[in-house]
A = this chain, B = another copy of it.
Amino acid sequence: MTAEGVARRATIREVAEAAGVSRSTASRALTGHGYVAPQVRDRVRAVAHDLGYVPDATARHLRRQASQSIGVLLSDLNNPFYAGLAAGISQQARKRRYTMMLADDGGSSGLEAEAAETFVALRVAGVIVTPVSAELGAYLSRQRIPVVEVDRQFSAGACDAVLVDNGSAAQRVTQRLIEIGHRRIALVIDEMHWTTGRDRLAGYRSAFAAAGLPLDESLVVTAGWDVEAARVEIRALLTRPDPPTAVFAANNVLAEAAFRTAAELGLAVPGRLSLVSFDDVPWMSMVTPGVTAVRQDTVALGEAAVSQLMERIQSPLAPVRTVLLSASLVERGSTAPPS
Contacts and interface: CB of A to CB of B under 8 A. Distances in A.
Nearest to A118: B99
Contacts of A55: 121
A61 interface: yes
B90 A103 contact: yes
A122 interface: yes
Contacts of A215: none
A52 B83 CA distance: 33
B286 A286 contact: yes
Contacts of A77: 77, 83-84, 86-87, 90
Contacts of A52: 142-143
A265 interface: no
Copies in the complex: 2
A217 interface: no
Contacts of A67: 58
A94 to B, nearest CB: 7
Contacts of A144: 9
Contacts of A187: none
A27 B143 CA distance: 21
Contacts of A99: 101, 103, 118, 122
Contacts of A14: none
15 contacts: A9-B144, A56-B62, A56-B121, A57-B118, A58-B61, A69-B122, A76-B87, A77-B86, A77-B90, A87-B104, A90-B102, A99-B118, A99-B122, A259-B286, A282-B283
Given A87-B104, A101-B101, 15 more contacts: A9-B120, A9-B143, A52-B142, A56-B62, A62-B62, A69-B122, A86-B102, A94-B111, A94-B114, A99-B122, A256-B282, A256-B286, A260-B286, A286-B286, A287-B288
